[in-house]
Structure formats: structure tokens, C-alpha cells
Structure 1
Amino acid sequence: MSFSRLSEHKVPSAPQTNPLHLALANRVIEYARTQRLPAGHHLTEQSLEQVLGASRSPIRGALAFLAEQGLVETRPPKRGLFLAYDGSELAALEETLPTSDEDQAYLALARDRLDGCLPDVLSEIEAMRRYNLTRERMRRVLTRAANEGWIEQRTSKGWAFLPMIDGPQSCAQSYDLRIVLEPSALQMESFELDLTLLDRMRAEQQELVDGGYETATHAQMVQANANFHEGLARLSGNRFVEQTVMRHNQLRSLLEYRETAADRDRVRRQCVEHLAILDCLASGDRVAAAALLKQHLEKARAGKIAQLSKAARERALASHGQQAHTKNQRNGTNADIGVCE
């Protein structure tokens, strides 16, 4: 990933874009990111029809929008459209794309659930009312959340939220699993060193250490971290390890919606630790690499839990203060306290 190259990319405004085309365009970018599609990957309407669960006409509109943004391109004499960037690079450009009402509702749904503002089971009617969307559009938002693995449709009415990394306790449990799984994966019999992947991981981490950490966007730094850990999981040669690490990265990304700024010095220190792990793997010392990875995850666990605990206390104080203020303003009425609205 070249952070300087991405920073030069300017996404033109698109005020007349069809909301459905815009929502599907964002999902195409998300698909390219999660599947790590390379630059030059051929995007066909037929393949995206199966992935997005949409008909070809709106998919065609979404691809046309992405072509206008310079994110997909033609490559004569070949026919069709091709990715202009690697999937990991496109992930850093997601935040520069215009967002549709559905994207905003998706983010609001995640924030509201993380902040404890939603019940364990949410009806479509309640969701439609809360996020001001039609049934069809709200269902697309809920289906997207289901695909990300943090909500599921019940056989009866409603959508049930699944366990999420939504606070200090669940974050600790997630790290506890990763501390057991990720270092062990480096010592599996199925482990195979892919020098091309290793060089790509090293280049991305080194660029951040060499100054990229000062200018990279929050999304770029989050994605670079995910690329590192998912890359190690891929080297294990065990697809279940890779799927588990990817799943936890998806759930961890929901917490990023709360963050307004990144600790850039911490990001640089973590990248230095990443490089040390890669050096051990390159030299063939998987035992040392596993030990360094375990230490790295333990440090990250302590720092993240402290951060989340502090944030939880601050939200509790803010909520208490708002409730007290609302109570004082009631003047004898029975108005509801809409803390999370």
C-alpha cells in the first residue's frame, strides 16, 4: 500500500448518484477489501450479482459510478471493468466516497448497538422508524450487518444481535482467543512461508514506520494492522485460522466507529514490533516469531482494555449528567429520556 499514492487520489463529488448505486458501490469496495482482490481483477456483473444479491441493472450503475471515481477502469483490448487499486488500498479510500442514507444508517445502527441503545431483538418497523428508511432499504442495511456477522434474522419476527466486541470484557475475551490462536498458528505443520506475501507485509509496515504513520488516515492504519495479522494467519496454511482472524478483525472494526483520533506514536511502535516478527519469520525462526507475537498481542490487549474502560466511564458520566439535566427540564411532564437518539 502506498500512502502517498492514496493521498493524491481525489474522489470527485457525485451529487446526482442513485442511492442504490452508491450503496452497492460501497459494497463492491468492501468485497474487494475482504477478499483481498488485486489491482487488475476483472469485475463482472455476473459475479457481483451473486456476491451482492442484486440484479445486474443496479450493479451496472454501481460500476459506472466507481469508474467515474477512478476506482475501476477499462483495460483495452480486454472488455469490462477492472480494479484500479489493490483491495487493501481501496479500503483506505472508502472513507473518501460519498455515503448513502443506507451507509449512514449502517454506521448509526452499529454505534447505537455499541452504546447500548438498542434491545437484543430489533423489529424492522422499529428500525425503519429509528433510521427513517423504507422497509426495502432498511432490510438491505440489516442484511449487510448480518453478512458482517453481528446480527441475524430470526425465524419469527425481528433481528437478533449477536455477541460483539462492544466493551472491555468482550475485548479481553477476543484478545485471549487471539493470544492462544495466532502465535500457535505460526508453528503449525501446515505453515508455509510465502516470500511475496511477506515482502508485501514488510513494505506496508516499513512505510508506516518511515513516516507514513504521520500522514496516513485512520482507515489506512486500521487496515494496515488488519493486513498484518490476516497475512500471518494466511501463512499458517489453515483456512479456519484465517477465517477466525478475519472475523475478529471485522468485529473489532465496529469499535473504530467510536474513535475520533488515532494514537500515531502507538501505531508506529506497533509497526516496529510487526517488523521484528517478520524478521524472525524471514530468518526461519518461527519459535521466536511466535513469542514476539504473543508479547505484542498481550501489550495490545492491556492498552486497548484500558482505553475502552476509560471511554466507558466517560460515557457513563456523560449519560448520567444528561439524564439529570433532562429530569430537571421536565417540569412535571413524562417525557422520555432519549440519551442515545
Structure 2
Amino acid sequence: MNELHRTLADRIVRHIRTSAMTQGQHLTETSLQEILGTSRQPIRSALGYLADQGLLERVPNKGFFLRNPALVSEAASTDDTSEVAIYLRIADDRLAKRLPDRISENDLMRRYGISRLGLRRVLTRISGEGWIERNEGRGWTFAALIDSVEAYRECYELRQVIETHGLRSPQFRLDRNVLADLRRRQQIVADGGWQRLSQMELFEANSEFHEGLAELSGNRFLLSTVQKLNQLRRLVEYRQTLNTDQVIDQNAEHLAILDALDASDTAQAADLMFAHLGKAKQRKAREEMFLPQPETAAAL
């Protein structure tokens, strides 16, 4: 199994958890294409890998079905914990400017004490999230990130402008099916997901909410901008200590925005979105977010 298929399998597991799928639920290649942004063949291989691991059931001529949600949760909590730890260390070192813009695989292997195969799985995941790119020759180059509290505040201020505009736009469409899906995902968080989902999974659920509404704006550039801003702030969010009170508050704000949209009151939804992003900026934009943290003993 190659690195891409393994990365896609990990993302499918996170999707199953954040969607609270039930036993026997059908996972289709077509629906996963929209979420994973890749072609059907690698998705099919990733689903096959998960079936081999016992998480999915492969039914001839019908596809793949969720075998046991409890097994998925167990896999998410135990699989590749060392690689997850190295992923987070790379993220922290990059934000703390301990890693240069360009770096070789050999340097990363020495620094983190990881095999080339394991490193490439980590780098493939990072590349899929948009904050590193493979060089044409050798090595990798990190993308620019939000690396200061000023930039973080500016990110939220820009989001206040564009996401509010998207809801107020005459082209905004009230797609009830999309809104129902967004509500279902947010209700998962409200119904205990804030306790069992990881920091990364909660970030994905919240990003999907904002990107889903941006897509309804009818402006493809607005959607791509929101997606890019989510990529840029990803590492900052991962670095934070999970604050359950904040998670509960922002989830309630998301549901209130959906309530307004279900009532066809886009003006109220826009006002709530502006306030929601403003509160998030005040709660989260702190100088200590970007203070260097001590390097671990394993780092060189």
C-alpha cells in the first residue's frame, strides 16, 4: 500500500468518526471524492485497505460498508501514534521557526528518529493539508503560515468580511439538503462529540461548517479563499490546548447560524456569523500562542 492510499485511509477514518456513522452504513467512492478531492481509484484502494483491517465490509458488486464503529474509534486512538506525535512535532517546530523553509528527508529522519517510509507517510499527510510541497529535485519546501498573533487576527478579520458577505450575497442559495448535513455534523459535536473527538477532528468539523456555507455563496473564489485560510491556520489550531468550554460555545453559535438559515433569515445568519468570528478572534488570538515551546529531548 503506497503513501497516498494510507493517507486517504486515515482521512476516511476521521470522516467516519466526525460523521458518527452507524454500523452497516455505505461508504461510496463518489461521496468520498467530494470530501477527499481525489479520483476514485486511490479511494477504492484506501477502502480496500480498511476492509483488510476489518473496519469495513467489502460486499461484491455493492461496495464497502461500515462493519463496527467501535473498531474505527479504537483504530483512531491507537494506530500510528508515533507518526501522529512526529506530525505534531513537525508542526510545532515549524511554527517555532526551528525548521527552515527548505529541508531534506535525511535531515528530518535524523531530527525525529523516524524511518524514511514513516516520514513519507507523515509528509504525504502534511502535503495533502497544503503546508508543505515536494521540490522538483530533492527535499521539501514549507508553505507560508500564519506565524504571528497579528497575522492570526488579520485572518479572522478577513473571514468576518468575506464569510458575512457570502451569506448576504444575492447568489447565496438555501440548499436545505446541504444545511441539513451541516446541522447533522454540528449536532454530533453537541451530542458528546466535543468529548470524544480529537483536536484535529474538531478542527475538521468546524472547517467543514464554514466551507459548506462558503460554497453556498455561489462564489467559487470565496470558497477557495476560506479553504486557504483554514489551511493556513491549521497548525495554530492544532497547537492549542483543547478548551471544552470554547468548543461548546462555538458549536452553539454554529447551530444558531443554521437556525437562522433554516428560517430563511440570511441577514440574521450573517450578523451571527460576524459576531461568531469576532468572538473567536477575541478568545483565541493571544501572544502566547506563538511563543517558542521547549524542544523535546529527541530533537537535535
Which structure has the greater CA radius of gyration? 1
For 1:81, what is the secondary structure of its paired residue?
strand
Aligned residue for 1:289?
Answer: 269
TM-fit CA distance, 1:65: 4.3
Residue of structure 2 aligned with 1:106, choices 87, 112, 115:
87
Aligned residue for 1:305?
Answer: 285
Distance 2:117 2:178 in 1: 41
Deviations 1:198-252 (A, max 9, x none): 123223334544x526633234433332232122112213333223323333333
Identity level (%): 37
Distance 2:240 2:298 in 1: 19
Aligned residue for 1:166?
Answer: 147
- The 1:257/1:231 distance shift into structure 2, 3 A limit, reads same
Structure 1 position 228 matched with structure 2 position 212: no
Please report the TM-score for the alignment, with normalisation by the length of structure 1: 0.68
The answer (yes or no) to whether the contact 1:164–1:170 under 8 Å persists in 2 is no
Residue of structure 1 aligned with 2:58, choices 71, 74, 81:
74
The answer (yes or no) to whether the contact 1:151–1:161 under 8 Å persists in 2 is yes
- The 1:238/1:311 distance shift into structure 2, 3 A limit, reads closer
Within 5 Å, give how 1:33-112 maps onto structure 2. Answer: 40-43=26-29, 51=38, 63-75=47-59, 78-82=61-65, 95-99=76-80, 103-112=84-93
TM-fit CA distance, 1:26: 4.0
Distance 1:135 1:29 in 2: 19
TM-fit CA distance, 1:300: 0.4
Structure 1 position 198 matched with structure 2 position 182: no
Alignment gaps of 5+ in structure 2: none
Letter in 2 for 1:287: A
After the TM superposition, which of the residue ranges 146-155 and 25-34 deviates more from structure 2?
25-34
TM-fit CA distance, 1:185: 0.9
- The 1:244/1:205 distance shift into structure 2, 3 A limit, reads same
Greater relative contact order structure (CA < 8 Å, 6+ sep): 2
After the TM superposition, which of the residue ranges 197-206 and 293-302 deviates more from structure 2?
197-206
TM-fit CA distance, 1:68: 4.9
For 1:186, what is the secondary structure of its paired residue?
helix
Aligned residue for 1:16?
Answer: none
Residue of structure 2 aligned with 1:251, choices 212, 232, 239:
232
Count of residue correspondences:
289
TM-fit CA distance, 1:145: 2.5
The answer (yes or no) to whether the contact 1:43–1:82 under 8 Å persists in 2 is no
The answer (yes or no) to whether the contact 1:205–1:271 under 8 Å persists in 2 is yes
Letter in 1 for 2:95: L
Please report the TM-score for the alignment, with normalisation by the length of structure 2: 0.75
Structure 1 position 176 matched with structure 2 position 154: no
Distance 1:218 1:24 in 2: 22
TM-fit CA distance, 1:195: 0.9
- The 1:147/1:271 distance shift into structure 2, 3 A limit, reads closer
Aligned residue for 2:103?
Answer: 122
Aligned residue for 1:263?
Answer: 243
User: What root-mean-square deviation, in Å, do the aligned CA atoms of Structure 1 and Structure 2 show?
Assistant: 4.2
- The 1:187/1:97 distance shift into structure 2, 3 A limit, reads farther
Deviations 1:100-122 (A, max 9, x none): 76555433322221222111221
The answer (yes or no) to whether the contact 1:174–1:248 under 8 Å persists in 2 is yes
TM-fit CA distance, 1:134: 5.1
Aligned residue for 2:169?
Answer: 188
The answer (yes or no) to whether the contact 1:92–1:217 under 8 Å persists in 2 is no
The answer (yes or no) to whether the contact 1:30–1:91 under 8 Å persists in 2 is no
Distance 1:232 1:63 in 2: 28
